[in-house]
A and B are shown apart, each in its own frame.
Chain A
Amino acid sequence: MNPPENPGRCMAGERPPLPAPAMWTASRRAVLGGALGLGLAALLSACGETPAASPQVDVQGPPVEGGALRVGFVGGGASDTLDGAVATNLGDIARAINMYDTLMHFDHDYVLRPMLATSAVPNDDATVWTVELRDDAKFCDGRPVRPEDVIASYMRIIDPEDPKSGAASLSHLDEIAKVGPHTLEFRLSVPDAALDGNFGGYSNIIVPEDFDPANPIGSGPFMLESFTAAQSTVLVRNPHYWGDEGPYLDEVSLLNFNDTDALINALLSNQVDAIAQIPPALVEVIGADERINILDSVTGMYLPFTMRVDRAPFDDVRVRQAFRLAVDRPGMVEQVLSGRGTVGNDMFAVFSEGYPDELPQREQDLEEARRLLAEAGHPDGIDVELVTAPIQSGVVEAAQVFAEQAAEAGIRITINRMDLTAYWTDYLSYDFSQTFWYTRDFLGQSNAGMMPDAPFNETHWDDEEYIELVGRIRSETDEVRRGELIGQAQQILYDRGGLIIWGFANQIDAYQSYVGGLQEDRSGIPLSGFQLHRVWIGDVG
C-alpha cells in the first residue's frame, strides 16, 4: 500500500487515466450506484454527528426582564382561533392562557388558586356561589375588570345560540347576579359543590362586555401583536397586567409546525427556544445535547381504552374485567411511553381528593382473564375490533401493544386504524376504541365523560349507583365527606367501569438551557401549563 504523501497533490492530471469499462458509460447504472453511495454516506454521517458545545447560561438567579421567546408546537390549522373560549388545539390553549384570565386557576400541583376572583364560596347546599373579584385587575386596554364583564363573559360561554367549550359543564347555571361592587352570585338549578373547578378551566375566560374576537382584549399577561392562523402568533407584554409575577418577556412568538421532526430540528438548530410535546422515546437523545433541557412532568393525562358498556360483548362486566386483567400495565408504560409515565388502576382524577390509593393495583392475570371470558360465554377466546386513530401521540402505539399483550389471554384484536376525520365522524359509536383526557378533577371528568348526559360519554356509562353518588358529591360542601363519596364512586369504576386506564403519560417538553422559569406542571398542558408569564431568558455569559 502506498498512502499518498500529500493528499493535495492527488489531482486528476497526475494519474494515468484508468481504462474506463464500456459499461460505465451507461448513465443509468452510474446514477443508481451513485445514489446508493450517497445514501450510505448520509447514513454514516448521521451516525457520527455530535452536538456542538454551547455557552453556559445562568438561569438560577432572579428572573431577568426583557427578551423574546419563540415557542414551537405541532398542530393548528385554518380553524385556529383567538377566542380562548373555544380553544381546542395547543396553539389555541397557549393563546387562551396567555391573553386571558379566568376567575380561578390550577397551579403547577393542580391545586385550585384564586386568579381574577379572590374567593369563591358556596352556600350550604351548593346552589349559590359567592365570588369576590379583585379590585385591581385591568384589561390590556386599561379598563378595569368589572362584575358586569364577568357576567357577560359567562353569558357568552353558555349562549344557547353559540355555546362555547365550557357550556357543557355549566348547563345548571341559572343566572349570575351582581350583589356588591366586586361581588357576584352564581345561582344554580342543581347543587354543585365543585363549580369552582369550572372557574379554573382555561377556556372559561373573562373578557370585556363588548368583546370582539377579531380585536381580542383580555386581562392576561400578554396581548396580541399579530396572528396568522396555522402559522404564527406574536404576543407582547401587557402593560396593564395586574399580577405580581411577571411577565418578564417583552415578546412571545407561538409557531406552528407540521410534524415532530421539523419541531425537534428547529429546537436543535436554535430556531425556537422551547418546544411542546416531544416523543418520549427521543428524550434521552435530545436531552444528551447539553444546550437542551428536558421538562418531564408527571400528569393525570391518560389514553384509555373505551369499552361500550351498553353493547355486546362489553355489556358483560366479566368481559370488561377480563380485558382489564389482560393488560400488562408496566409493560404498556415501558413500550408506549418509554417508561415515562405512571401505572393506572382504571380510575381517573389521580390528583383529586378522595382518590382511593388503598385499592389493590390491578395487574396482568391471564389465567383469570381467560376464566372470566369463559364464564361470559367465550371459552375459546374472543375476537374484537379496536378502532384507533392518531388522535394523540401514543394512542395508535398503545393499541398495538395492547393487541400483542391481550393475545395471550385469548383476546384476538383486529386494529382498525382510521384517519382523523373518519374517526371523529363516528366518535362515541365505537364498541371498543381509545380516547385521551388531560388532567381533570373527579367531578369535572364525570360531568364531561361519565354521566348519561355528558358530551363525551365514550363508554355510554349509565350506572344508577354512580349517578346517585355523583349527585351527592355535587351537593356535598364538606370536603372530607365529599372525598369519601368520591372514593366510593371511584370504586364503582374500579369494579365495573368501561375504561381501561393503564397509565398516565408524562408531559415532556424541551427548551434551550438559557430559558428560565419553566417548571413541572401536572395539568398535562405543555411547558408549565403554558404559563409563560413566569418564563424569562437568562443572560448568555
Chain B
Amino acid sequence: MSTNADSTRTDPVVEPAVAQAADPERAAGTGRRNTVVTRFWAQRQSRLGVALTALVVLVAFLGPLLLPWATGYTQTEFADRPFQGSGVFGTDDLGRDVLSRFLAGGVSLLLYSVLATALGMFLGLLFGMVSAYVGGALDSVIMRANDVLLAIPQLVFALLAITVLGPQPWVLVTVIAITHAPRIARVARSAALGVINEDYIRAAEMYAMPRARILFREILPNITGPLAVEAGLRLTYSIGSIASLSFLGLGMQPPAADWGLMINENRIALAVQPWGVMLPVLAIAILTIGTNLIADAIARASATANIGDA
C-alpha cells in the first residue's frame, strides 16, 4: 500500500526528539505507553487534521442552532435583492443571507457523508472478511462481483441511481455506500488474509466458535489499522461525492440550505458576490483536507501496529 511506503519515509516525525520538542513534560516521562493513539497524536499533522475537521464540524452542527439570532435571518428568509453586499457575507441568488445559509447548510453534508461511509464500511467489511475467511468459490464470486462494480465510475453510477430513484436522502446515502463497498472489501480482504492463519483463529475454530463471532470478535479487531485509514479516506470521498451530487442538483433539494447546492446556486455571480460560493467551497476544502490528514496520520501511527499484531 502506498500509505505504508509513505509512512516509512516520514516516520522520523514520531521520533522521541520531535515528541520532546512538542511537549517538554514527556521528556521526563518514563514508561509512557506506545499505542496507536499516542503515535497518532504525536504527529503534528494529525493535530492539524483534527483541528481543521473539528472546526468545520462545529460550524456545521452549531450553525443551525445559532439561527436566526446570530445573523438576523433564518436560512430561507430574504434579506435583500439577489447578490447584494448587505450583511456580513452578502446575499445569495434569491436575496437570502449567505451566512445564514452557510451556517445551516453543513449538517446534511456531514451527516450523509458519515452515514454513507459507515454503511459502506459495514458492507465492505462483511464481504471482504467473509471472502477472505471462507475462501474458495465464494471468494472468487465476491471478488469478481467486486471487480464488476469497481469498473463502473462512482459518480456515473450515483447519477444513474438517483435519476431513477429520485433525489431522496436515503438514496444518496445508499448509493455512495454501495460505490464505496467494493473498495473497502478489497482492503478488508487483504488485511484479513494476513490474520486468518494465526493460531488464535485456529484455536477459536477448535472451540467451535460460530463463524460470525470469529469474524467480528477475532479477525475484525486485528485489522483495525488499515480499516481506520480506509474509513478516513472513504469519508473524504463521501464528502466530495455528496457535495458534487448536490452541486449537480441531485442531492439536497431547494429551498434547503446545503453547501453543495449553494455553490451551484451562486456560481453565476462568482465575480460579483464570491462569498456565496467561496464559503461552502472553503468549508468543504478544509473538511476534506482535515479528514485526509487524519487518515494519513492514522496510517503512519498504525504502520508498526499493523496486520497480525495481536
Contact = CB atoms under 8 A, between A and B. Distances in A.
A22 B13 contact: yes
B267 A261 contact: yes
Interface string A396-421: 11011101100000000001010100
Interface in A16-70: 22-23, 25-26, 28-29, 32, 35-36, 39, 43, 46-47, 49
B83 A26 contact: no
Interface string B247-276: 001000111000000000001111110100
A338 interface: yes
Interface string A282-294: 1011000000000
Interface in A210-259: none
Given A46-B274, A281-B81, A22 B12 contact: yes
B272 A25 contact: no
Contacts of B83: 281-282, 338
A36 B285 contact: yes
A335 interface: yes
B278 interface: yes
Contacts of A400: 76, 94, 254-255
B268 A279 contact: yes
Contacts of A173: none
A475 to B, nearest CB: 46
B147 interface: no
A17 B95 CA distance: 51
B93 A281 contact: yes
A331 interface: yes
Given A25-B9, A261-B268, A279-B268, A338 B253 contact: no
Contacts of A338: 81-83
B78 A401 contact: yes
Given A46-B270, A396-B254, A404-B76, A417 B249 contact: yes
B45 interface: yes
Nearest to B300: A26
Interface string A272-316: 000000011110110000000000000000000000000000000
B289 A36 contact: yes
Contact of B78 (A39, A331, A419): A331
A399 B267 CA distance: 20
Interface residues of A, number: 39
Contact of B278 (A35, A43, A49): A43
Contact of A43 (B77, B254, B274): B274
Interface in B284-310: 285-286, 289, 292-293, 296
A334 B78 CA distance: 10
The residue among A43, A261, A280 with the most chain B CB atoms within 10 A of its own CB is A43
B10 interface: yes
Contacts of A415: 253-255
Contacts of A331: 78
A339 B94 CA distance: 11
B10 A47 contact: no
Interface string A415-439: 1010100000000000000000000
B151 to A, nearest CB: 26
Interface in A309-347: 331, 334-336, 338-339
B45 A336 contact: no
B179 to A, nearest CB: 21
Nearest to A280: B82
A335 B12 contact: no
A486 to B, nearest CB: 35
B271 A285 contact: yes
A401 B81 CA distance: 12
A261 B268 CA distance: 6
A339 B93 CA distance: 13
B198 interface: no
Nearest to B250: A419
A32 B292 contact: yes
Contact of A49 (B18, B82, B269, B271): B271
Contact of B269 (A35, A39, A281, A397): A281
Contacts of A334: 78, 81, 95
Given A339-B81, A397-B93, A417-B253, A23 B10 contact: yes
30 contacts: A22-B12, A22-B13, A23-B44, A25-B9, A25-B10, A26-B296, A29-B296, A32-B292, A43-B278, A47-B274, A49-B271, A260-B268, A279-B268, A282-B83, A285-B271, A334-B78, A334-B95, A335-B81, A335-B82, A336-B94, A338-B83, A397-B94, A400-B76, A400-B254, A400-B255, A415-B253, A417-B249, A417-B253, A417-B254, A419-B249
The 9 closest A-B pairs by CB, nearest first: A281-B82, A400-B255, A285-B272, A281-B83, A335-B95, A32-B289, A26-B10, A404-B76, A22-B12
